Each structure stands twice: as structure tokens, then as C-alpha cells.
Structure 1
Amino acid sequence: MLDARPAVRQTFAELAAWVRARPPRLGRVRLVAVDGPSGSGKTVFAGRLAEALGGAPLVHTDDLLDGWDDQFTFWPRLERLVLDPLRQGSTPTYRAYDWGSGTFDGPEITVEPAPVVLLEGVSAARRGIRPSLSFAVFVVAPPDLRFRRAVERDGDDSVAFRAYLERWRAAEDRHFAEDETAAAADLIVDGAAATGDDSFMRRGR
């Protein structure tokens, strides 16, 4: 999934300027999707971009999933609780999913309808939302690195967790191939490259 062309360093300040220059397409909001496979570095990248955008609101799709089996079918919930209110200029508020209890009893999250809102997670840049996106990012990294990151992040090296993770990875690979997510993205990011907080490595754009 890595682009063979050389990576080029770019600053988050430059990317933030690109994003601000794009027209809003979700009502008055510039919605930026940060997509890519699990463990690629989406969350870190999205957090740094949010900071470069002056603390732009950041929505994580994992907070809207009803467990492992809701990998892609969560989207109507995201539309109802987050995207539709933003389109209408109102302020979404929802309860995050608690992966420990398996319920939506996590922290209450409020998303201000700011000029730019980031949506991060697997399938965040899926085909159905593209007309409403102002900018789409796809983050990539080698499979072995992504696997190690996922295990370290969740602190679970059990056989059961690895089975869930393998099933998840296979499903996301099928999704990205069918959806042609990377080809449609405005920016491909090398999530394996070590950079400072003010820059990242882009590929193929």
C-alpha cells in the first residue's frame, strides 16, 4: 500500500493553509477526513493537523463504533449524531463507545461547528462522504509496523485480540481496494516516517 515514489517533507502549517483555502462542503464546515489502515498513524497525524489548525475539533470514528463487528456499518450513526448537525450549523453532542464495557457510556463529546472539523478513522474518506469533504488524507505504513502498533496501543497480545485484529485488517484491506480510497485522496502520508511535530512525509501527490 506504500507508494513507490520518494517521500517529500511538508510542514503541518503548509497543510493547514491548504485546508483553509478549500471551500466548505458540509454546510459551512470544511470537513477533513484522515483515513488509512489500522496502526498506520492516523490518530497522531490528525492530532497534529488539528493543532496546526488552531485546535480544530477532531472526531474519531472509533468512538461511534458499536464494537468490532460495527467496523463499517456505524456510518448512519455518525451521520445522525455528527455530520447532519454540522451540516445544519448546530453543535453535535454524543456519548463515546466504551470498549471495556461494550456500551455507549463513554465520555460525552461535543463538536463545535468550527470552520474546519477533522474526521479520523478507518473509512472516514469513504466514497459516500466524498462530495462533502474539503480535503482527504490517506495514511500508509508497512503491515508489520501497523500490527506492532495496534498491539502496543491496545496493550493486548492475547490470541483472541490477535484474531479480532486479523479479521479487522482483512476487512479494511477489502474495503480500501473496493472503495479506491487512496486513489481518491488529496494527500498520501507516510505514517512510518520519523519526523518532528511540525512536519510529515507525503507521497504520490
Structure 2
Amino acid sequence: MPSRSDDPVARALSEAVSRIADAVRAVQASNPVVLVDGRSGAGKSTLARLLAEHWPLRTDPQLIALDSIYPGWDGMDAGAERAYEQILRPHGRDLVGTWQRYDWDAGEYAESYAVDPSRGVILEGCGALTPRAARIADVRVWVESPEPSRKRRALDRDGELFRPHWERWAKQEVVHIRRDDPIGFATLVVSIP
């Protein structure tokens, strides 16, 4: 995967994708589950998208963002629970899962999407890596990044929409980290500057 050697973020993402792809190959399954967790703005979505683009297996993975499932700004735990029940648990049992996209503007769940158990899954988002989810996942990634970088990236990405919710969301992240120990369950920890 090409990266610009003068861009430390691009270089770190490229190296992380390579490490995760190696871990996916090592699983020796056609339908591995990869969880990508980390705090807001750490680079999870970009990393997951790049991994999907450079997926090392023949059949493309299903990329699912928890941002599409959280039921609003106070919904980290509820979104992670829905993902476990509707995506990870059925996939782990070789059953078709179905999840609903949350419409942030309407404040309600909208259309549904099927999850094919014969294909791999990349589930990314804050709260993805819990003790229960870790038991189902094949590759578990925690993305580290310094707070100033995270905040800048998150606000650049979501602008004024996210600014009033930064602290509110950060409190949920802290609860998740203390309660669920996602770093302790990670098979790979990657750092993005």
C-alpha cells in the first residue's frame, strides 16, 4: 500500500493496515471478524476504510461503522450492544444478521442491512471492543492517538456539529475504557500521530 513518507499519519495508517492484513491472513478463515476501536478522532474510520480497500482475502469484507448504529449522542453503549446482538453474535453462529441504520436527523432507526456470515466483517467505532465482542472477533485493534490530534481530526471531520458534544462523548469513552478494557483485549495496538 503506497504512503507518503513525508506524512506521518499516512505512514502510520499504511503500516497499521499492513499489520492488520497480516493478522487477518493468519486467521486462515474466509470470514474473519475485525474490530477497530479507539477514541473519537483516533483514525478508526480511515483505518477501517483502508483495510477494506486492501483486504487480503478473495471476498470483500462488510465494513460497518458504529456511527451508523449509535442512537444519538448518548448512545455509545446502546449502539455497541445492538452491534453485538445484530451483527457479531449472528455472524459468529453462521447466521445472517440484520442491523438498522440510525437516522441522526430524524432521531430514529431507518432502513435495515443484512450481514452475510460467509464474508468477513470490519466493525469500527468507539465501544466496538468489549469483553463479549472480543470472544467473537478474530482480530481486535485498538487505535491510539494523542488528544490534540484526535480533537483536531474529529472537529475537522464533523465541524460544528460535533463541537458541543465532544466532552459528552468523551465521558462515554472513558466509561467504556475503564469498564471494558478494550486495550487489554486488543490483539494489535496501533498508534496514529
Q: Shorter-chain TM-score category?
A: 0.7 to 0.9
**Counterparts in 2 of 1:21-36, with a 5 A limit?**
21-22=26-27, 29-36=31-38
More displaced 10-residue stretch of structure 1: 37-46 or 137-146? 137-146
Partner of 1:121: 125
Distance in 2 separating the partners of 1:137 and 1:117: 13
Tell me if the contact between 2:37 and 2:129 (Cα under 8 Å) persists in the aligned partners. yes
Partner-residue secondary structure (3-state), 1:138:
strand
1:43-88 CA distances to partner (integer Å, 9 max, x unpaired)?
0001111122153111111212111111113334223322233233
- Normalised to the residue count of structure 2, the TM-score between the two structures is 0.79
Partner of 1:200: none
Percent identity of paired positions between Structure 1 and Structure 2: 33
- AA aligned opposite 1:156: E
Partner of 2:71: 66
Partner of 1:82: 87
More displaced 10-residue stretch of structure 1: 48-57 or 36-45? 48-57
Q: How many residues align?
A: 179
- Runs of 4+ off more than 4 Å: none
1:13 positional shift:
4.4
Partner of 1:52: 54
Distance in 1 separating the partners of 2:100 and 2:181: 31
- Alpha-carbon RMSD across the aligned residues, in angstroms, is 2.5
- Normalised to the residue count of structure 1, the TM-score between the two structures is 0.75
Please identify which structure carries the higher helix content. Answer: 2
Q: Which 5+ residue runs of structure 1 have no aligned equivalent?
A: 1-6, 193-205
More displaced 10-residue stretch of structure 1: 169-178 or 95-104? 169-178
1:120 positional shift:
0.4
CA separation of 1:40 and 1:11: change in aligned 2, threshold 3 A: closer
Distance in 2 separating the partners of 1:136 and 1:11: 12
2:103 counterpart of 1:101: no
Partner-residue secondary structure (3-state), 1:151:
helix
Tell me if the contact between 2:17 and 2:50 (Cα under 8 Å) persists in the aligned partners. yes
Partner-residue secondary structure (3-state), 2:42:
coil
Q: Which 5+ residue runs of structure 2 have no aligned equivalent?
A: 1-11
2:155 counterpart of 1:154: no
1:23 positional shift:
5.8
1:11 positional shift:
6.3
Tell me if the contact between 1:67 and 1:99 (Cα under 8 Å) persists in the aligned partners. yes
Tell me if the contact between 1:20 and 1:116 (Cα under 8 Å) persists in the aligned partners. no
Distance in 2 separating the partners of 1:148 and 1:48: 20
Distance in 2 separating the partners of 1:173 and 1:11: 24
1:118 positional shift:
0.8
CA separation of 1:47 and 1:70: change in aligned 2, threshold 3 A: same
CA separation of 1:84 and 1:174: change in aligned 2, threshold 3 A: closer
